[in-house]
Structure 1
């Protein structure tokens, strides 16, 4: 019996070590998990309409041919978008990398070398004392030739490598949604810049017309001054007003240049004139918008889908980090030929070599690095949860803000249009009263100034209306599809 126990004691020791490794490796720290809250309000307002403008393509939503041409150019040439496309390619390659990690690694190896053992060493002494028949001695120095195939493979027992690949796939899909989000914002930026350009053109036209009106008034004032009906003060005040208005046109021209260049930058080209039609800008009517229901944001907004995929990847990272506590099984094998003479290299089975081995390893002492990685993965997963919730909340707020802005701007535009009409009529009235000496010249100046400002504000309000139309389309997640 004692001999039997002695015979198998090494087996018992090895089995005990394996049990200890497995027990120690499977013991992982406990963490508090948090699930994302994806609930949204039932509706934006009292509407039950499920139609959603985000489903329209940008060509269906924007009908101005000049604007469509600009957007099309931006989608082909914009550098930021092209950078994002390369990020997608990088993520795709990371999937290939992760996929290769859980497949066997197979390689070929060939080597040639020479070895001279010192006589006064243990190996040299053994060789010198070996009784070898004359003519059969090993060559000295001893050549060594090897041709072999080898393979290594880590058995993915705990799905560590598979989960790493799934996380890479989620991140790849996240970069795709990131590209879609860039497209949505790019279209909105180009469209907003285009409508701003139209508004500036109209403001410049208003300034030029106002300069003509003020110049005519200045002529009348000079004539009245010559007739001793007015003083030099009135002439100088009118001249100052004309000069101020003339200087205003250069301020607007500078804004036009900067806006054109901003659009050209988005289009990935050097500054050049932007083709556009500024006529009838004030007659533009914003497109009718259907917001649908808030839950549709989760499917339409690329940034929400991107945050969701980032969260899925972060959850998988936690599983990967947790699997590092568990034992890992590695298998290695090799087969080939080895000899000290090329003539003997392919002699079978004498020159044949092969090996097969497996190892089971698990962290036992000083697991701080693995714990830190595990805690970090969990913290990043919780961050991803908050980011996902914040992205959903931000999307809802953006839509709600733009809805309110569209309604308020519509009412504001109606009132400002009436204001412009009233002040435009007051210019003619003030001029007539001034000619008949029934109104002071300051009344004429103030009326002209108020009329100019009101026309500017009317154009500005129209631009904000068109911009709100663009932003609600972006907020709903339109443009990328």
Structure 2
């Protein structure tokens, strides 16, 4: 009768625990914690179409760049480390889930022991083996013991403490996935940026080479005019000095190209190799989609913001788990099996059957201050996570507005620079003709050459920056994760 009461008590405790576990809800963001962002990026347009929903294959039309992006996603060492961290977070989640499950273990044991005849155990065993006791129940000498059993131990999640720990681990696993997606967008944007900068350096090399050729022609002409007494040695020296300067710029440019090629090789997880790329003229003609959408889409498209949100939810779950550490915990223990002197009597039930039922309720008494300190830390971590969540959204909005303004500004400057290029090209042609006819001096030729080269380099820089700006805008909006 007593055993039946014990069983009924255990069943009741288990049922009560399951009710509490079922009622434990995952943490949610409160109304005060939810992000509130402006309706637009400061423009009149309120179109929700955004390039963030485009895959990187759709955004980047250059097939050569697409090939390098695939290689980087497969081989980049830093990105592969991030993927491994996602797996580690998944393992943490598996461990947290295991905390809610009972610990069930099976055991098989065998042993033999002989007690001294002049010891308490030896005398006790010999007096136990009385003639009226069945022979097969006599304690053997030496004493042998065989056990086969199963043990069940479970901490009932009455208050939801373990459930909150599991929810925190689940949120951090999701945060790690978002962090991996963000790492992917950073890798793609970095690779594309280096790629376009390399094309810009190729164009700078062409400009410098043309300037060297023109300066060599002017130097030869000046030298001939000096031989005829038309100009002084000063003019010859000026052109020679300019020629040496340009050759130095060419060497610097070639070094920058080599460094950029090595940087791209490193991003794709390769030792230095030849980097193929399109021409500058082809880069000039590249067309990028420019739809930015509305700021509210950042919450869903930016992986770093989504990661911060999951970290906030994890910290809320941690705080709840820390608070419930003040409450008592219930542990259930159940065990059963077979035990006998001889293996042949193992399954002689119920004679060799053994079992135990137990339940323990424990509550912290002397560790209240330690638990309270941990709870205070968890609350502070939650407030920090909220501030980081809001900060990321604010910086993302600022970044996008700056890139939109930069895009508009670059288009206007590019248009002006194209007109300036035409004027400088004409000035160089006119200056050389007038110099041959001795209507102007060498200083005007040098000035025209320098301004033309400077204008060409500026135009190259503007075109390169325009492409990079579009890449950064695509990343800032949350693109590159598909």
TM-score, normalised to structure 1, is 0.88
Q: Which moved more, 1:213-222 or 1:97-106?
A: 97-106
Rate the CA distance shift 1:281–1:451 in 2: closer, same or farther, 3 A: farther
* Aligned mate of 1:69, from 51, 59, 67: 67
2:39 is aligned to: 42
2:5 is aligned to: none
SS at match of 2:109: strand
Gaps of 5+ in 1: 1-32
Q: Give a deviation string over 1:75-130, Cα, whole Å, max 9, x none.
A: 22222222222222222222222112111111111112234456776656655776
SS at match of 2:273: coil
2:462 is aligned to: 461
Please state how far the C-alpha of 1:35 moved relative to its aligned partner: 4.6
User: Retained in 1: the 8 A contact 2:104–2:153?
Assistant: yes
1:323 is aligned to: 324
- Alpha-carbon distance between aligned partners in 2 of 1:241 and 1:282, rounded to the nearest angstrom: 30
Q: Which moved more, 1:321-330 or 1:437-446?
A: 437-446
* Aligned mate of 1:100, from 98, 101, 112: 98
Rate the CA distance shift 1:146–1:125 in 2: closer, same or farther, 3 A: same
- Alpha-carbon distance between aligned partners in 2 of 1:74 and 1:414, rounded to the nearest angstrom: 35
User: Retained in 2: the 8 A contact 1:35–1:385?
Assistant: no
Rate the CA distance shift 1:56–1:366 in 2: closer, same or farther, 3 A: closer
- Alpha-carbon distance between aligned partners in 2 of 1:252 and 1:370, rounded to the nearest angstrom: 62
User: Where in structure 2 are the equivalents of 1:392-407 lying within 5 Å?
Assistant: 392-407=393-408
- Alpha-carbon distance between aligned partners in 2 of 1:479 and 1:180, rounded to the nearest angstrom: 8
User: Retained in 2: the 8 A contact 1:115–1:143?
Assistant: yes
- Alpha-carbon distance between aligned partners in 2 of 1:282 and 1:270, rounded to the nearest angstrom: 26
Q: Which moved more, 1:396-405 or 1:238-247?
A: 238-247
Rate the CA distance shift 1:461–1:305 in 2: closer, same or farther, 3 A: same
Please state how far the C-alpha of 1:165 moved relative to its aligned partner: 1.5
User: Retained in 2: the 8 A contact 1:282–1:459?
Assistant: no
Aligned-residue Cα RMSD (Å) equals: 2.2
User: Where in structure 2 are the equivalents of 1:50-449 lying within 5 Å?
Assistant: 50-117=48-115, 132-133=130-131, 138-281=139-282, 283-284=284-285, 286-449=287-450
Please state how far the C-alpha of 1:226 moved relative to its aligned partner: 0.7
- Alpha-carbon distance between aligned partners in 1 of 2:390 and 2:89, rounded to the nearest angstrom: 24
Please state how far the C-alpha of 1:433 moved relative to its aligned partner: 2.6
User: Retained in 1: the 8 A contact 2:125–2:139?
Assistant: no
Q: Give a deviation string over 1:190-237, Cα, whole Å, max 9, x none.
A: 111111111111111111111111111011001011112222222122
- Alpha-carbon distance between aligned partners in 1 of 2:116 and 2:393, rounded to the nearest angstrom: 74
User: Retained in 2: the 8 A contact 1:114–1:143?
Assistant: yes
Please state how far the C-alpha of 1:327 moved relative to its aligned partner: 0.9
Rate the CA distance shift 1:280–1:130 in 2: closer, same or farther, 3 A: closer
Q: Which moved more, 1:327-336 or 1:270-279?
A: 270-279
Q: Give a deviation string over 1:266-314, Cα, whole Å, max 9, x none.
A: 1111211111121415733552411111101111111111111111111
User: Retained in 2: the 8 A contact 1:198–1:281?
Assistant: no
- Alpha-carbon distance between aligned partners in 1 of 2:220 and 2:93, rounded to the nearest angstrom: 77
Rate the CA distance shift 1:423–1:131 in 2: closer, same or farther, 3 A: closer
User: Retained in 2: the 8 A contact 1:147–1:338?
Assistant: yes
2:6 is aligned to: none
SS at match of 1:49: coil
Q: What number of residue pairs does the alignment pair up?
A: 449
1:19 is aligned to: none
Rate the CA distance shift 1:98–1:460 in 2: closer, same or farther, 3 A: same
Q: Give a deviation string over 1:312-352, Cα, whole Å, max 9, x none.
A: 11111111112211111111111112223334333222222
- Alpha-carbon distance between aligned partners in 1 of 2:176 and 2:129, rounded to the nearest angstrom: 71
- Alpha-carbon distance between aligned partners in 2 of 1:35 and 1:163, rounded to the nearest angstrom: 21
- Alpha-carbon distance between aligned partners in 2 of 1:453 and 1:131, rounded to the nearest angstrom: 111
TM-score, normalised to structure 2, is 0.88
Please state how far the C-alpha of 1:36 moved relative to its aligned partner: 2.4
SS at match of 2:326: coil
- Alpha-carbon distance between aligned partners in 2 of 1:95 and 1:373, rounded to the nearest angstrom: 21
- Alpha-carbon distance between aligned partners in 2 of 1:392 and 1:459, rounded to the nearest angstrom: 34
- Alpha-carbon distance between aligned partners in 1 of 2:479 and 2:392, rounded to the nearest angstrom: 16
2:16 is aligned to: none
User: Retained in 2: the 8 A contact 1:110–1:148?
Assistant: yes
